[in-house]
Amino acid sequence: MQQSFRQKLLPLKKEKDLLTMVENRSVYTLEHCELNVYETRQQSEKVSLVFNDIVLTSMIRGKKVMHLAGKEAFDYLPGEFVIVPEKEEMVIDFPEADSYNPTQCIALAVQADILRDTLQLLNENYPKTEKDDSWKIDLSCFHLQNTFEIASAVDRLLSVSTENIPAKDVIADFTLKELLIRLMQTQARKLILDSYNKHTSTHRFAFVVEFIKNHIHEEITIDMLSNICYMSKPNFFKCFKREFGISPVDFVIKERMKMAKKLLKDVNVTIGEAAYAVGINNLSYFFKLFKRYEGTTPNEFRKRLMVLSK
């Protein structure tokens, strides 16, 4: 699998280049966004940060404790993504930061005009499946696991920001729009997955998710899924991928792998039993899928769990 931004650590600053041990900041200013890289090397509490625009943040290394208005404090860890509304104060604790274990985070402040243009483009040309639904950044779904697609877009945006080329702002705008779209697709997928049972009567893809979860141990085909949506097979495939950023085939496999990992945590369940329980009767095919989607074999996954539990 191609290495993504979430798998790479930013180069640490030399101590003589640090302006402060707490929230040292590097800034890259583009036409429609400002990309900030923060590095912290000292334990501290209640560090305040406010941006005039909506902020998309991605944690790279270390640990923060975030305090946002109206929300319980939460740990912010590498591989996670947090969205903060414009002019909202972030109060941040750094419980573990030091010179040997610095904290690094990216904060991308996005101007309202490019966000508005992206939403208008999507809603006019690529509307959501349900008539009453529309594309938007949902601030109720503010704390996400980074996806490969989001991390790759952030990686490219950081690369563009540090380049000295005439078309930098144009390239950055395209990349920023991709990031916003990937983010909204991830939010749409998470919102349906987290509460699909509440929306099965109003959102056809919520009904699809419920069907997949209830029949994960059986064969599931695109024909079956498109039929329960009362959509043609090509239209279902296109709309599902557009809305969630993932094909229905990949979605089903990911759900099978998610369930398989839960089963493999039980040492009394054999790998063959786990494969059969998620609808895969061919053990070698199960090994192949697990390796492709999880980056490890079922045996290695189980051994790692045993080591961590000791």
For residues 84 and 21, the model is more confident at: 84
pLDDT of residue 165: 85
Return d(Cα 222, Cα 256) in angstroms, integer: 15
CATH code at position 118:
2.60.120.280
162 with 236, same domain: the answer is no
pLDDT of residue 199: 85
97 with 32, same domain: the answer is yes
- Residue after which a domain boundary falls, among 176, 192, 208: 192
9 with 122, same domain: the answer is yes
Q: What average pLDDT does the segment 140-147 reach?
A: 92
Q: What average pLDDT does the segment 300-308 reach?
A: 85
Helices assigned H by DSSP within 11-144: 112-125
Q: Which residues of 53-87 are buried (b: 16+ CB within 10 A; e: fewer)?
A: bbbbbbbbbbbbebbbeeeeeeebebebbbbbeee
Which of 249, 123, 130, 247 shows the shortest CA–CA distance to 180? 123
pLDDT confidence bin for 24, thresholds 50/70/90: confident
13 with 161, same domain: the answer is yes
Which of 105, 89, 109 shows the shortest CA–CA distance to 97? 105
Output the average pLDDT for the chain: 90
For residues 271 and 20, the model is more confident at: 271
Return d(Cα 295, Cα 298) in angstroms, integer: 10
pLDDT of residue 28: 92
CATH code at position 255:
1.10.10.60
pLDDT of residue 21: 46
Model confidence pLDDT, tens digit, residues 147-193: 889 999 999 999 999 888 889 999 999 999 999 999 999 999 999 99
Model confidence pLDDT, tens digit, residues 216-239: 999 999 999 999 999 999 999 999
- Residue after which a domain boundary falls, among 161, 192, 223: 192
User: How close are the terminal C-alpha atoms of the chain, in Å?
Assistant: 30
At how many degrees (to 10) do helices 248-264 and 283-294 cross? Answer: 100
Q: Is the pLDDT of residue 1 over 70?
A: no
pLDDT confidence bin for 93, thresholds 50/70/90: very high
Model confidence pLDDT, tens digit, residues 42-67: 899 999 999 999 999 999 999 999 99
Q: How far is CA 264 from the centre of its chain?
A: 24
Which residue do the tokens 């790279």 mark?
60
77 with 212, same domain: the answer is no
Number of domains in the chain: 2
232 with 159, same domain: the answer is no
235 with 155, same domain: the answer is no
At how many degrees (to 10) do helices 204-214 and 233-244 cross? Answer: 100
- Residue after which a domain boundary falls, among 130, 163, 192: 192
Q: Is the pLDDT of residue 87 over 60?
A: yes
90 with 178, same domain: the answer is yes
233 with 94, same domain: the answer is no
pLDDT of residue 12: 55
Tell me the β-bridge partners of 37. 26, 106
Range of the domain at 254: 199-310
Residue 139 is classified by DSSP as T
Beta-strand ranges (E) seen in the chain are 24-29, 33-40, 44-49, 54-61, 64-67, 74-76, 80-84, 90-94, 103-110, 143-145
Q: What pTM does this model have?
A: 0.85
Q: Three-state SS for 279?
A: coil
User: With the C-alpha atoms ordered 301, 303, 305, 308, is the resulting torsion angle positive or negative?
Assistant: negative
203 with 172, same domain: the answer is no
